[in-house]
A and B are shown apart, each in its own frame.
Chain A
Amino acid sequence: MAKFITSDKVYAWLEELGQKHEVLAPRNEGDSIVFKPYDSKKGFNIEREATAPPKKACFPQSETLVEFSHIKDLENPEKVALDVKETIPTSSWVVFGSRPCDARGFTMFDRVYLNGKHVDVYYKARRENTFFITLACEKGETTCFCNWVGSGPSDPTGSDVLMVPVDGGYFLEAVSERGESILDSSLLEDGGSKQADADKFRAEADQSMGEARDLSKAPAKLLEAFDDMDFWEAQSAKCLSCGACTYLCPTCYCFNITDESDGVKGERIRSWDNCMSNTFTLEASGHNPRPTKAHRLKNRVGHKFSYYPDLHDGVISCCGCGRCIKSCPVGVDIREIVLNAIAYEAKEKADG
């Protein structure tokens, strides 16, 4: 199904979608662009890639797993009963204005939280009820490398509707079955006549990307370099070991679980956690198998470009959005590290 919407009607469309779903759209907040519940007074900004991806749509920064309360037995003060309430989300959401890399990022989550032996019910409840209306990119930024990791600037993988800018508005294509229900609106016109323009836009966007580097050797090479801590210390020398890269990453899915209590009531929550943090692997004994930033950055790169692909048919767990490079306070470039790992053996030979 292909439709067309004129630019001026997008606001009305979002209002209409908002009657059935909670709509998340990127908007300016200070000098950043972040996804927020759509507010017609504040509008949206889809001019460029948002500073933070819409990761929180299916994987909130913190999320209540259960609510609990302690109930005292007045007859026996030593006996305390625990009342526990499950809190599975029941709403439905539309993410408007995500980029292809943002939506594709969730397919990395899916393999882990939906398609494995254990299904994550919280993630499932959000993922199955979240629709992605994704905007194709016109041109890659200097930090973009989606084409290195098996994708492209108009890749619809993970999206429900692909939006392509064309003269006067947007060409809208349902790319999943449920995407068709999103396009069932009287505000939309038939898009058949715009198909050619949209195809041209997509082809030009593909052309705009630089040459894709071959990463097929990365999984094996990263394992080969695993024990060479000199290599990893050099790669991580400037890293500050903060969590900006992971929390802005559309494919980083790790979390922490804590009980947050207030008096006799509380919540068990899960909140974003990241492998750049010391506490991520700190064991109860006090031992930490990843005691330095070199160990941690090795894990971050290794997980995305080696361990995950080894478990999931070679799929690299990186969508190439480039936020980890662009927003790193010290310019750590994950592309450079992966390429250095791929060149690892060659370097050894040259030295030896």
Chain B
Amino acid sequence: MKNLEDLKKQIKDGLSELDVVIGWTDSFDPLHATPHFMRSEADVDKLKVDALCVHNLATYLPSLKGKKVGIVVKGCDSRSVVELLQENLISREDVTIFGFGCSGVVDQVKIRRAVGEAGMVESCEVSGTEVKLTVAGKEHKLPMADVIADKCQTCRYPNAVLSDQFVGEEIKPTASFEDGYKDLEEFEAKSTEEKFTFWLGEMDRCIRCYACRNACPMCVCRDHCVAQSRDPHWLSQEAHVRDKWMFQVIHAYHLTGRCTECGECQRACPVDIPILLFKKKFNKEIKEVFNYEAGLDPEATPPLQTFKIDEPTIKEKEW
């Protein structure tokens, strides 16, 4: 990030008013970043912001209720903050948003596909156009376009949509709404049988760890999730694919009109199940039915959390 020093200065200036500021820092190997909770200037010096900073830190906000929290956000992350505000799950006065214009983050799965083995990364340099890796003594130069996350390829909100401090220059988005749903349309074109076979195959390896749920900034039931409730015992704990799938369907339904498509569910999945597709399906429907997208306007009420006698986009009286 070009303006990293400016951002550090902004955070340091705000630190005395805040209990903690959440950003990213170096992790266990050069190819990964990790969420970073900053309380001192020395902590801020370790802040890192680049294409490895994949995590949506908004996930932590509801659990820090009552504290004064600063948060560094990419465009997509900022939409989750806005959605949390829309749902009164966090208070605006408790959150200080440090936004920037994001040019995209890497997809670790794509990097694994490209280098075969990402367990022995010795060095990693990320520039705007390239990820340069040394893996087990061998150098790999991966064009950013090949390893960037799908969501970034079709990003329409690279800049924080809400911020108290914005560092650097805004980035001009080029994608359209339709661009973001081509993968879904391709999938929808398949026969029901093909789709069902695909999901049975993918969901079978789910280990029911609920990383998808816990990484999701909008999955705020957390300790009270139906998936594990003991009494009532809603969901079978069998390792059957139908039970694993059932949870994903519940997850997607609960997120309808709320999901900001940060993709954390899919990124967090330790066995790489493409579960974002479920959420994209519902988002596309919500756009069609209500002409609404989650997490853009702090004042807007999510369509499924309200009722209007006359929905502007549903002309049922003309049916």
Contacts and interface: CB of A to CB of B under 8 A. Distances in A.
Contacts of A336: 28
A269 interface: yes
Given A271-B237, A329-B215, A330-B55, A143 B270 contact: no
Nearest to B119: A141
Interface stretch (A124-132, A177-185, A217-225, A277-285): A277-285
Interface stretch (B205-213, B291-299, B302-310): B205-213
Given A61-B239, A142-B119, A244-B211, A331 B270 contact: no
B228 A62 contact: no
Interface string A26-70: 000111101000000000000111011000000011100000000
B230 A330 contact: no
Closest 7 CB pairs of A and B: A141-B119, A329-B268, A331-B34, A61-B239, A278-B223, A243-B209, A242-B214
Contacts of A333: 27-28
Contacts of A312: none
Nearest to A267: B238
A242 B228 contact: no
Q: Which of A238, A246, A333 has the most CB of B within 10 A?
A: A238
Contacts of A256: 237
A332 B28 CA distance: 9
Interface residues of A, number: 50
A144 B119 CA distance: 9
Interface string A137-148: 001011110000
Given A32-B271, A62-B239, A141-B120, A279 B230 contact: yes
B215 A272 contact: no
Nearest to B236: A260
A274 B210 CA distance: 11
Interface size class of B (residues with CB under 8 A): 35 or more
Contacts of A143: 28-29, 119
A61 B119 contact: no
Q: Which of B28, B36, B120, B274 has the most CB of A within 10 A?
A: B28
Interface string B123-148: 00000000000001000000000000
Contacts of B27: 331, 333
Contacts of B36: 238
Contacts of B28: 142-143, 325, 331, 333, 336
Instruction: Give the secondary structure class of B's interface.
Output: loop
Interface centre among A60, A244, A274, A329 (most CB of B within 10 A): A329
A29 B236 contact: no
A28 B202 CA distance: 12
B277 interface: no
Contacts of A327: 270
B35 A260 contact: no
B95 interface: no
Given A238-B36, A260-B236, 4 more contacts: A30-B274, A277-B210, A278-B223, A331-B27
Nearest to B240: A62
Nearest to B215: A329
B238 to A, nearest CB: 5
A74 interface: no
B238 A260 contact: yes
A139 B117 CA distance: 12
Interface string B15-44: 000000000000111001111110000000
A244 B205 contact: no
27 contacts: A29-B201, A29-B204, A29-B205, A32-B205, A34-B205, A47-B116, A52-B205, A52-B271, A61-B207, A61-B208, A61-B239, A62-B239, A139-B136, A237-B37, A242-B214, A243-B208, A247-B207, A260-B236, A277-B228, A329-B55, A329-B211, A329-B268, A330-B34, A330-B35, A331-B28, A331-B32, A333-B28
Interface of A: 29-32, 34, 47-49, 51-52, 60-62, 139, 141-144, 234, 237-238, 240-244, 246-248, 256, 258, 260, 267, 269, 271-272, 274, 277-279, 282, 325-327, 329-333, 336
Contact of B59 (A62, A240, A272): A240
Nearest to B206: A61
A143 B37 CA distance: 22
B190 interface: no
Nearest to A141: B119
A183 B310 CA distance: 75
A47 B136 CA distance: 14
A290 to B, nearest CB: 11
A60 B223 contact: no
Given A61-B208, A142-B29, A244 B268 contact: yes
Contacts of A62: 237-240
Nearest to A49: B119
Nearest to B244: A61
